[in-house]
Structure 1
Amino acid sequence: MNKSMEIKSSESIKSEGTDKSKVMLVFDYDGTIQETMKIYAPAIFDIAKGLRTIYGVQIENPSYERMESWLGLRSDEMWADFAPALSADARAAAAARVGAYMRTLVRDGADPWYAGARETLDKLKEQDYRMMILSNSDHGYAEFNRKRFDTDKWFEKYIDCGSWDWKSKADVLSSIISDEPELTYVMIGDRFNDQEAAVNNDILFIACDYGYAKSGELDEADARANSFRELPDIIARLPDC
C-alpha cells in the first residue's frame, strides 16, 4: 500500500499505549493458515479423472502452479479456467466432489495447517489481539474447517464470502469495518484479493510470501512474512499494533 508510514524497528516498538484488544487481525484461510495444496491437489487430480470417465471431457491434470493460482478464487472463477465447457450443473457436481474429497482426506488424518500455526495463534491470543477469518469460500467449506479445526478457540468470526452473495473480500471487509470502525484492522493473506481488501479499505496488509501468490502479486504490502511463525513479531512492528 502507498502509505506514508514506516514499520518500526524492534528497539523502537514499546507500544506502551497500544491496547491490543482494539486491534483486529483479519486472516485469509487457504494459503495463509492452511497449506491447502496438501489436500486440494489430490482432490483436483481425482475430479480430473472423473471428468474424463464420467463426462467424457478431454482434460489433462493441471500443473501445481495452475492449481495454486486457483486458491483464493471464487469457485466459478476456478471452474471457468479449469473446465469451461462444463454445464453449470456439472460444475456444481464437480465442485461438490472436490470438497468431499478434501474433507475425506482431513477426516482420515491429514492436517493441512502450516507448521506452528496453532502455537502462533495461541501467542497472538495471549497477547489479547482480536482475530477473525475472512475466506473467499462457500459456507459449507468454512463450517467444516471451523468445526474440524476448532477455529473458535482463536477466531471470533469465520466469515465466508459465499454467505455474502459472493461479494468481493474488499466489500465484505468494508461492511465488517463499518460495524466497529474504532478498531485498528490488519489484513493478513497470500493473494491479490487480500491485498485489494486492505488497499480499498485503507488498512495495513501483511503479505504471506509462503502462500500461493505469484511474483509481484503483492507488491503493495506493508510487511511480508516468510512463515506463519513470523507473524507475531511482524505485527508488533506495525503502527498502532
Structure 2
Amino acid sequence: MAEKTARPALIFDYDGTIHDTMRIYRPAVRRAFQWLREQGHTVPETSDRQIASWLGMNTRDMWNSFLPGLPEKVKQKAAVLVGDAMKAALRKGCGAWYPGIRETLDALKRKGYRMAVLSNCQASYGAAHWQAFHMEQWFEYFFDCESFQSAPKSEIIRKLGDLYPPPYIVIGDRYSDLEAAKSSGSPFIGCLYGFGSEAELRQADFLAAGPEEIQKYL
C-alpha cells in the first residue's frame, strides 16, 4: 500500500483529455456508416457534434444508443470497422495529442506523480496508442474497459487498488469520468477542452480550460 504521505495517483481519461480523437474517429465512423448503408441499413444523417458526443462511451453503449434496432452481429461488425480504421489512421501518423499535454505530463512526472490511463476503449486500441505515443514515458498502466468486461469506469476504478493503489485524483472530460471520481471518493478535474460540456462537468472540483491548467490544481 502507498504511504499516507505519498502523492495521490493520477488517473487520466484518454480520448478527449489526452488524445484529440475526432481527427481519426470522425472519418472512421463515417466509413462505418457508409458500409451500413451499402448493406441496406438505414443510417440517419449525423452531425460531427453528435459523433463527438459518443466519445467517452464504450462501443456497446454507443451503438445501442444510436442504432438500437441493428442486429447485434451488425453492430459488432460496424464497431470492428471503426476500430480498424482508427488504428490504421494511427499507424499512418494521423493521431494527435492535444497541444500542451506532453509538457503537462512532463511537469507532473517531475513532481513525482504516478500516472495511469482509464479509458472506455478496446484493449487493442489502448495498446496501439501506448506504442504509437511511447506512453510508458509517463504512465504506469493503460486500463481499458474491454479488459473489465466493458464495465463502467465507476466500477473499474474500485478494482484497481491492488495493482494501482489509491488515493486518486481523476482527470477527464466526460460525466463517466466524474462518476468514477465519485465512486472512488476522489477529487475530479474536468477538462473543458474535450468533448464534454460545462454543464456535464458542473460537479467537478476543478475545471481546466486547457491541458496546461491541469497542473495548477495539483
SS in 2 for 1:22: coil
- Structure 2 counterpart of 1:217: 200
- Structure 1 counterpart of 2:148: 164
Contact 1:48/1:61 (<8 A) preserved: no
d(CA) in 1 for partners of 2:57, 2:74: 19
d(CA) in 2 for partners of 1:214, 1:63: 16
| Structure 1 segment 34-183 matched on structure 2, within 5 A | 34-53=19-38, 55-177=39-161, 183=166
Q: Deviations over 1:147-206 (max 9, x none)?
A: 11111111001001110111211111112136565x431000000110001112111000
SS in 1 for 2:161: helix
Q: Displacement, 1:61?
A: 3.7
d(CA) in 2 for partners of 1:201, 1:108: 38
- Structure 1 counterpart of 2:10: 25
d(CA) in 1 for partners of 2:28, 2:45: 11
Structure 1 segments (4+ residues) deviating >3 Å = 177-181
Q: Deviations over 1:89-137 (max 9, x none)?
A: 1111111111111112222221321012222211111111100000111
SS in 1 for 2:197: coil
Q: Which consecutive residues of structure 2, in runs of 5 or more, have no partner in the other structure?
A: none
The one-letter code of the counterpart of 1:189 is: G
Contact 1:135/1:161 (<8 A) preserved: yes
Contact 1:133/1:158 (<8 A) preserved: yes
Q: May I ask how many residue pairs the two structures share in their alignment?
A: 215
Note the aligned Cα RMSD (angstroms).
1.7
Q: Displacement, 1:27?
A: 0.1
d(CA) in 2 for partners of 1:162, 1:111: 21
- Structure 1 counterpart of 2:177: 194
Q: Displacement, 1:83?
A: 2.4
Q: Judge which range, 26-35 or 160-169, deviates more.
A: 160-169
The one-letter code of the counterpart of 1:115 is: P
d(CA) in 2 for partners of 1:204, 1:212: 20
| Structure whose CA Rg is larger | 1
The one-letter code of the counterpart of 1:30 is: D
